[in-house]
Structure 1
Amino acid sequence: MTGSKITAIGSYVPAQRLTNTDLEHMVETNDEWIVQRTGIRERRISRQDEFTSDLCVAAVEDLIVRYGKSVQDVDMVIVATSTPDFTFPTVAAIIQHRLGIPMTSGTMDLSAACSGFVYGLHTANSFVASGLHRKVLVIGADTISKITDYTDRSTCILFGDGASAVLVEKSEESSGFLGFHLGSDGSGAQHVYRTALSRSINDIELIDSQMLVQNGREVFRWAIRTVPQGVEQLLMKAETELDQVDWFIPHSANLRIIEPISERMNYSMEKVLYSLVNFGNTSAATIPLALDMGIREGKVQNGQKVLMYGFGAGLTHAGLLVQLDLDQQISDPTPL
């Protein structure tokens, strides 16, 4: 076994903004109601001809420019997404070609909804730490707006589009990955779904819809119970106390979910990073977007311990404790 660490990060969000004021003209809602219930003020929406693969390429290009990295020696590409351009081929295969990554590299999409990026990082660490791979590109990206019903005010106020990419590379010294905890509860699978070949889950008939369907109340109840328990298990495995964690980055589903989770953990909201205020719930992209925002703002520094915890459809959840050791940026990031 060898060590592995995150060495670079890049992000991209579409140019088009969908503000709460814009939504007032689409459904029965208003800015005050949305902010009070979600904390979200606006979100980014992909163009009609802009897809998840496009967001991924732009995020990787941002990483390359900021850190002076090459992807020509990447030997595995993992894309965590619930909104691939196609059922198949994979987004990873599409961007491998577009980015000029060698054909000897492996590519795969990973489907774990809003937990996807953390699952992708965990997988990359396993590949590198085992010695099977040396440099893995992990991307969390979604264009959830393309499967959002903009007549349903309970869901359309939440979601936006975005992508973030990181490189996980071999470390000759120590590993930047300190601990993990994974879990799932398929008994609640019917609470967040989009129908495809089947029309039932757990013997429950579903609404036949190509749009995202969510029972927000049930997801809320599950998340505020499950995440603090998962964090406790993760820290126990990592032999780390919560007060040693510099930053907590939960999935940016809704600020009103994050707040009670942090309260139950007895962890200050001043040390919680989230990306939902200006970008909404970007599914697999929320956690890396929040991490990158913290880095751009100078909050998150090398040597600090960051606890990431994703949760969502499945119902799946996944946490990682990492110690940052990013390479030095050679170029200032462009504003998101």
Structure 2
Amino acid sequence: MISKIYTIIKGTGKYIPHLRVKNEDFLNNTFYDTYGKKGEKSNQEITEKFEEITTITERRHVSKDLVTSDIAFFAAEDAIISSKIDKEKLDYIIVAHNFGDVKHDNRKSDLVPSLAARVKHKLKIQNPNCIAYDLPFGCPGWLQATIQADYYIKSGDAKQILVIGADVLSRISDPHDRDSMLYADGAGAVILEGKESDTPIGILAHTTRSDTYQFSEMLYMDTSFNPDSEHKDALFLKMNGRKLYQYALTTVPQAIQACLEKSKTPLSEIKKVLIHQANGKMDDAILKRLYALYDIKELPKDIMPMTISWLGNSSVATVPTLLDLILKDELKPHKINAGDSIVFASVGAGMNINAMVYKM
């Protein structure tokens, strides 16, 4: 068999903020509906129903002194240390995010210079041939950046690439919108490297779809639900949760199936499904739909590790953070062993969906 260049994960890193925000911390919030009217249910009822639907009991928020590029740097540094590479030999730094740097006392997106440029500066990388750029792609951003990196490596354009997913959603969520309880902060990173092999390893296949014609406005930015909000000109992240839920259940399993077929990997060989942690119950339903496509009713035990119950939805950071936790044996009993085939999948604003099959 002729040797080929495959893209492998050389090392991983993460930054999980220290501030734990529990559901009961929202009991004093005043929630409004989309029409600007106060909700009739008590906050106790709202938080209990929220936990039942999403499985989230707490989430992490960054401290006031940190912004997205800071935590992206922390995750990058962790990945560089774990991979034991020379950072000056990186060919690309790609940072997936959605809102730039948003300060706690000035909640406007700051995108110049790019977050990737800021991370490269913080890493003190002097090599001008290390190209740094950002990728805004909704929650699937980190996985899409990984897909781009795979193209660079397989084309011969790059040998080592740093891919980071980082977001601070706590500063763009409306405190008067109950969906604000979903959002969290965090960062995850990987070092990708080209490796020659006689047998398929690393990234075997990937698929992406963008359903912008019908579904582009299921996640959008708008003013506060509170008509008397002190932040009248501020824009907050809004979501059509019910339609998004149905969209994800219909399309994500299909995207994963298409990726498995593209990689010629039977579903029975998949040891782990690492999916974007958007909503615990939704992810469970997606997994059931995936196996239903193969007429399988009984799901393998522990195939889909979850962190959303204690980390919340940190957008582009959820999947790389999940991967790092498992590989560093910090999410027992989950393990990923050499030779295992795993699936990555994500869905988010756009609407965008992607999936990737990877062999360890």
Which of residues 17, 29, 52 is equivalent to 2:68? Answer: 52
- Residues 289-298 or 235-244, more deviating: 289-298
Shift of 1:195: 5.5
Q: Secondary structure at the match of 1:308?
A: strand
CA gap 1:269/1:88 in 2 versus in 1, 3 angstroms: farther
Q: 1:157-188 CA deviation, whole Å, 9 max, x = no partner? A: 10100000100111022541111111010021
Which of residues 21, 30, 33 is equivalent to 2:24? Answer: 21
Is 2:330 the partner of 1:314?
A: no
Q: 1:236-264 CA deviation, whole Å, 9 max, x = no partner? A: 11111111111001110001110111111
Q: 1:101-128 CA deviation, whole Å, 9 max, x = no partner? A: 2232111101111110110110011101
- Residues 301-310 or 315-324, more deviating: 301-310
Give the corresponding residue for 1:281: 313
- Residues 248-257 or 27-36, more deviating: 27-36
Give the corresponding residue for 1:184: 210
Identity score, percent:
30
In structure 2, distance between residues paired with 1:208 and 1:32: 31
Q: Secondary structure at the match of 2:82?
A: helix
Q: Secondary structure at the match of 1:114?
A: coil
Q: In the alignment, residue 141 of structure 2 is paired with which amino acid? A: G
In structure 2, distance between residues paired with 1:100 and 1:70: 12
Q: TM-score if structure 1 supplies the norm length? A: 0.88
Q: In the alignment, residue 292 of structure 1 is paired with which amino acid? A: D
Q: Secondary structure at the match of 2:48?
A: helix
Shift of 1:133: 0.7
- In structure 1, runs of 5+ residues without a counterpart are 197-206, 325-336
In structure 2, distance between residues paired with 1:25 and 1:193: 26
Q: In the alignment, residue 324 of structure 2 is paired with which amino acid? A: D
Q: Secondary structure at the match of 1:246?
A: strand
- In structure 2, runs of 5+ residues without a counterpart are 31-41, 102-109, 224-231, 292-298
**1:85-234 → structure 2 map (5 Å cutoff):** 85=101, 86-101=110-125, 102-153=127-178, 155-173=179-197, 174-186=200-212, 187-194=214-221, 210-234=235-259
Q: In the alignment, residue 159 of structure 1 is paired with which amino acid? A: Y
Check conservation: 1:274, 1:287, Cα contact below 8 A. Answer: no
CA RMSD of aligned residues (A): 1.9
Q: In the alignment, residue 53 of structure 2 is paired with which amino acid? A: R
In structure 2, distance between residues paired with 1:10 and 1:278: 19
In structure 2, distance between residues paired with 1:156 and 1:70: 40
Q: TM-score if structure 2 supplies the norm length? A: 0.83
In structure 2, distance between residues paired with 1:175 and 1:136: 17
Shift of 1:57: 0.9
Check conservation: 1:275, 1:287, Cα contact below 8 A. Answer: no
Give the corresponding residue for 1:204: none
**1:266-305 → structure 2 map (5 Å cutoff):** 266=291, 267-268=299-300, 270-297=302-329, 299-305=335-341
Q: 1:46-81 CA deviation, whole Å, 9 max, x = no partner? A: 123311101111112222333433312111000010
Check conservation: 1:262, 1:268, Cα contact below 8 A. Answer: no
In structure 2, distance between residues paired with 1:296 and 1:276: 18
